[in-house]
Every structure is written in structure tokens, then in C-alpha cells.
Chain A
Amino acid sequence: MTKPQGIRTENLSLWYGQFQALLDVSLEIHHGRVTGLIGPSGCGKTTLLRCFNRINERIDGVRTAGHVHILGEDIYAPGVDLVELRKRVGMVFQRPNPLPLSVRENVLFGLRIHFRRGELRKDELAHAVEASLKEVGLWEALKDKLGHRATSLSLEQQQKLCIARLLPLRPEVLLMDEPCSALDPAATQRVEQLIRELRDRYTILIVTHNMAQARRISDECIFMLLGKLIEHRRTEDLFISPKDERTANYVEGRFG
């Protein structure tokens, strides 16, 4: 069996109308590691993240050039089905966005979308709910509240539920856009813990503004500035002995 591959981009550029938000980004993100994306606001972190499940295309005037390979396949190739792509590449947003449904239906939403009514057996569904909630550490807290509205949970539980919602589809890549920015420090710590636990099974890419967080949870770190990739190294190296002066200035808090 071949080793699972992560994400590889070649000269990826992206324009919002006339404005170029990504300039020739080439990088390789490895499976089984957490990769942090840091940089000042507007540097293109989130834009880059959103390229990997092609959700940018919903915006008018967006144009991309270059290649993005996920699992060895070019996701911008003509034959790529967005539905299949997004099953494999899940995304977690800044603010938890549970659907206004029960906890159970939130977890099962992906399955319901992708399978016909008759194709899913009851015990399979129940198993999917339990397995997904266990994986994110919510099962004990919510096993008696599966019928409760997801929007009535605490923010921490909502965010974990949003992660759990991706899992029944067996994704390979989890994209996280500042997943802890709406949470308090204690909840942040527990969600970070969860991300560490998920690391081995997925390719995790996490955008963060919080440099301490990037240091805590990422194995590798990418520093971006004005749409360019400046430095991509092991997290320790990037923070302790940055090669580029701009990286050094940023991680030491001299700007940004």
C-alpha cells in the first residue's frame, strides 16, 4: 500500500478580480501531521485554505492558476467532482456552524446528503453517530442528548460537533480556519487536545492568528506574507531559528 499523501501545490496563484491574493505558492503538506498557517491578516492564509476544497469558487471574480494535488490528484482538473472532493476534504470554520437540527442529524447530515434513504441501515447510522462523537470526545456528554438542538450546545461542544460532522464521510484532509477563535481559553485547550489526537489519521491544516497556539499544536508551520509563502519548516525551527528576517520579525512580535 502506498503511503497516504497530503496536499501539494505548484505555483498556485489566485486573483479576486484584479487583486492577486496568492502569488506562486508551492508547498507540500504531509499526512499525519498538523500544519499551522500563520501570518498577518490579509496575507492569504484563509484564501489558501479555501483553495483546498474549492469553496472560493462561490465568490464572483475568483480566478486560480497553478496546481493543487490532494491524494496525488489534481483537484482543479476538469473531471473533478466538487461533491467527491468535499467529502474527502472537510472544513471547520471560525465560528461553529452547526445546522439548526438535532445533534444526531448534524452528525448524520453528510451521510443523508450522499446516500438515498433506503441505503442506510439504522444500526449503521447509530454506529456512525457513536463513533464520530467518540472520536471528538463528545459521546459521554451528549449520548443522552442526541435529540437536542445542536444550536443550544456550548460553543466548545458546537465546534467539536462540527468536526464530528465531517468524520462519517471518512475525510482525508481537515481544514481548520481559526477553529478556536470563538472559544475561551479552557475550551481552546480542549479543542487543541482533540486536534492533537486526530493528527495521526488525517492531514490537518490549521490557520491561526495565535502564535502560541501554532507552537503548541503544529508539527510544521508555514509563514505567509502578502500572498507569498515565506517560510515552511518544522514548527520549532521556524520559531527558534527562522531563516527569513520577515519570519523572525513576525514571530517575535515586531509586526503583525
Chain B
Amino acid sequence: MGVFATSPESRRRHRSQQVAFAVLLAMTVLLVLPVLAILGMLVWRGAPALSLEFLFTAPVRGMTAGGIWPAIVGTMWLVGVSLAISAPIGVLAAVYLNEYARDSWVTRVIHLAIVNLAGVPSIVHALFGVGAFVLFFRFGTSILSASLTLAIMTLPVIIASTKEALAAVPMTFREACWNVGASRWQTIWHVVLPNSIAGILTGIILQVSRAAGETAPILFTGAAVFVPFLPQSVNDQCMALSMHLFTISTQVQSVPQSITYGTALVLVLLVVLVNGVSIVIRSRIRRRRKW
């Protein structure tokens, strides 16, 4: 027998290694299955409903026919306005927390608040939105109220992801900056932000899918079951894809299945599209930087 021939002991180790591989692979496949199943079912049942007419007309006959255009437009309004509010606030707050704030009990309380805000169920956000924006600030049930509610919901995640992107910028870059006499803000503006913008954008865009998909926070604050016109300003109510899906699948009788699944498919495609754009932007920016 050669020196390097397999011993019974090493053969046993090989076997347990193979078992481990098989189990891990199986779990990974299990993870992918539901995703494929959902997408497959949506495409199979919803694709026949898709047409230009379905996309670009309003629902008719008590929502049992026609299209979903007002809901698409409404979702875009809600997502756009909510991110226009939460992205700047979230990014600036994260810059403060990561670059300026010292470790004191105040910042620890702020961190705790952010973590807890991220864990609040969306229906609670909805109730808060009603109390604060609809009633107290008298914004009424409107795109503004709904977007503010969504903004509060997405804010903690944007802060967290931005902080992570900022923290990934090597400390040596900051030290290099300070050592030529750059102020903190100059360091942030010239070095930290340009090198973390890809991560920051990714974090923000990922919140698009969350804002687009949530139903509870907009249910009482701004989304309506049916609005006969497209929103003209943030003071109007609007329809939304998620809300529309909820309505036609639970509240309205005899809606053809193809319309329900078609609506769901459009919502998913919209989110996939936005995520795709974010991936392209990120890889573009990544290719430019090297360290």
C-alpha cells in the first residue's frame, strides 16, 4: 500500500462530506422551488390576460372586466412620493450616524429606535398613518398620507442599508483625507459618498419593491378600491396594484381568474423591472471603482 492510499478513516470522512453536500444542495433547491412555483403559476394563469388594453385601460363593470391602468399609475405615485421622502432623510440620517455621531447613550437610543421601527408590523404603521397624517395633520386619505406612511415604514431599512454601505468604505480613505486637512464634510462628499453610492442606491431601490407590494399601510391612508380618474396631485386618492389585487380577489364576486393573476403578474414584473435596473446601475458603478 502506498503512503497516500485511502485509509478507512479518510474514506469515512469522504462519505460524511458527500452527505453534507447532498443535504446542503437539497436545501438550496428547496429554497428555489417556491420562487419558481409562484412565478410559474403567475405566468401560466396571468399571461393570457396581459395585453396593451389590460395595461392601459381602467377597470369596468364593477372591476370584472377592463384593465388596471389606474392601479399601475397609483402604485407609481405611491412608490415615487414615498421614496422621495424617505431616501433623502434616510441617507442623511445614516451619514450622520456613521460619520459624525459619537457613541453615546443618545446615539444608542437612536439605533434602538431604528431597529424597532423596522420590526413594527405594517398594519400598525397603517394605524399610525391614519392617526398622524390623515387626521392630525389633516392630509385626508390621499397619496400624501399613504406615501408618508410608506416612507416611515421604509426609512429604517434605508438607514440600515446606507449605514452598511458607508461602513464598507475603508477607514484608510478617510484618514488619507483628514491628513491633507479635509473637513469631515469634504471627506464625506469627495471620498465616502462616491465610493458607497452603489450600495446606497441598491438599498433604496430594494425598498421600491416593498413600497409597491405593501397593502396594509395604504389601505386606510390613501388607496381606494376604485377611483374613476387618474391622480392629479398628492392630495388625490388613488388606486394601487396591491390594493386592487386584494379587492378583486376577496371583495368582488365573479372576477375572471385571468384578471386576478394578470394583476399579480404585472405587480411582480414591475418589481422585477425596478430591481433589474438597480442591478445594472450597481454593476456599472462597481466596474468604475477598484480598490
Q: Which residues of A contact B (CB under 8 A)?
A: 53, 55, 58, 60, 82-87, 90-91, 93, 95, 97-100, 109-110, 112-114, 149, 151-152, 162, 165-166, 169
Contact = CB atoms under 8 A, between A and B. Distances in A.
Given A100-B195, A113-B190, A55 B178 contact: yes
A82 B183 CA distance: 9
A83 B181 contact: yes
25 contacts: A55-B175, A83-B182, A86-B181, A87-B181, A90-B179, A93-B175, A93-B176, A95-B172, A97-B173, A98-B176, A99-B173, A99-B191, A100-B195, A100-B289, A100-B290, A100-B291, A109-B177, A110-B180, A110-B181, A113-B177, A149-B290, A152-B290, A162-B176, A166-B179, A166-B180
Top 8 nearest A-B pairs by Cβ distance?
A110-B180, A97-B172, A86-B181, A87-B181, A83-B181, A97-B176, A113-B182, A91-B179
A109 B180 contact: yes
A178 B179 CA distance: 16
A113 B180 CA distance: 8
Nearest to B174: A58
A90 B290 contact: no
A84 B176 CA distance: 15
Contact of A93 (B172, B177, B182, B186): B172
B102 interface: yes
Q: Interface extent on B, as a size class? A: 20 to 34
A55 B182 CA distance: 12
Contacts, number: 66
Most buried by B among A109, A112, A165: A109
Q: Is the interface of A mostly helix, strand, loop or mixed?
A: helix
B290 A86 contact: no
Nearest to A175: B179
Interface in B120-148: none
Given A60-B102, A82-B181, A87-B180, 20 more contacts: A55-B179, A83-B181, A86-B179, A86-B180, A91-B179, A93-B176, A97-B170, A97-B172, A97-B173, A99-B176, A99-B191, A100-B173, A109-B190, A110-B181, A112-B190, A113-B181, A113-B190, A114-B181, A151-B290, A166-B180
A86 B178 contact: yes
A206 B182 CA distance: 23
Contacts of B9: none
Contacts of A165: 176, 180
Given A60-B102, A100-B290, A151-B291, A53 B176 contact: no
Nearest to B194: A100
Interface in B138-190: 170, 172-173, 175-183, 186, 190
A97 B290 CA distance: 13
Most buried by B among A85, A93, A100, A152: A100
A79 B182 CA distance: 18
Contacts of B291: 100, 151
B173 A169 contact: no
Most buried by A among B175, B186, B291: B291
A28 to B, nearest CB: 24
Contacts of A90: 179-180
Given A95-B172, A97-B172, A149-B290, A169 B191 contact: no
